A = this chain, B = another copy of it.
């Protein structure tokens, strides 16, 4: 099979849970949160244009366009600019609207970490076979602990050796339910990575969320081209209801498959997740920059060019960025949005 897959990279997020480093034009996906390249550049590099993949389609907001271009450099890409945020269903609809019906689209968030890229590629190959049989395919991450912050996907009938029909989607569960699913097996985390034939998704959207697809379709048709970027028309796109692809399509369609994969995945969804992935000293401290620690362990300290001194603290994050200093227990990092909202 020499079919090339079209990566579609979703860059629209604000990443407010990683405030203060993530904000404005320097949103989470554009930061080198694991050291080295930004999460966005790591995402682009995971599906390099060549034998298996076409150059990517990148969906981003106006505010991030310059950063995307800067981080892409000379690499070929087609940029699709969302005039305003309208959630993932409308964003994906833009990519579907401008694709040939038989193109396989691999939709990926731009702010995740995947440590085992060969495992990802093997899963893509399985998913591609299912997508050619007109399954809407979602990637299911093998769960490692009873996480309550993700949705789960229950596997149904096996589809050969490539995956499973989806029995049902489970909303972010209470801990007891998460523990039960982990014990039972046959449940995977919903990572928001999808693979499907463009024409198949078009039909699904016209069935399940026609107003979203029609708004996106007209926004592409009336869009303004600017070099490598197509700016979707704001008036048309603004008519699209805001909904996630999960709610708008995946949970409503009756031919949805899941391809389970263990690939060292993390959504880096909070400073706690950044700490979990970071290189730590022998007592669990992960530091960046000029940090003095005394009798402290299990902390994430990012000095951001300043000098941070921490005494007698356990399990906290101290994040410095410009004139902003955030102090929060790692277990409370979901609440960082409150500070981001108050400050930005």
Interface residues of A (CB under 8 A from B): 20, 292, 294-295, 303, 305-313, 316, 318, 320, 323-329, 331-332, 335-336, 338-339, 342-343
Contact = CB atoms under 8 A, between A and B. Distances in A.
Nearest to A310: B327
A17 to B, nearest CB: 11
Contact of A343 (B309, B332, B342): B309
A5 to B, nearest CB: 41
A329 B312 contact: yes
Contacts of A324: 306-307, 309
Copies in the complex: 2
Contacts of A320: 325
A335 B338 CA distance: 32
Contacts of A303: 325
A336 B318 CA distance: 17
Task: Decide if the interface of chain A is mainly helix, strand, loop or mixed.
Answer: strand
Given A20-B309, A303-B325, A311-B326, 12 more contacts: A292-B339, A307-B324, A307-B343, A308-B325, A308-B327, A309-B327, A310-B328, A312-B328, A312-B332, A313-B328, A313-B329, A318-B325
Contacts of A316: 313, 327
Contacts of A327: 308-311, 313, 316, 318, 327
Given A292-B342, A343-B292, A343-B307, A312 B335 contact: yes
A338 B294 contact: yes
A22 to B, nearest CB: 14
A19 to B, nearest CB: 8
16 contacts: A20-B309, A294-B335, A306-B324, A307-B323, A307-B325, A307-B343, A308-B325, A308-B327, A311-B328, A311-B338, A311-B339, A312-B328, A312-B332, A312-B335, A313-B329, A318-B325
Name the residue among A307, A318, A320, A342 with the largest chain B CB count within 10 angstroms: A307
A344 to B, nearest CB: 11
A318 B329 CA distance: 14
A339 B343 CA distance: 29
A283 to B, nearest CB: 16
A309 B294 contact: no
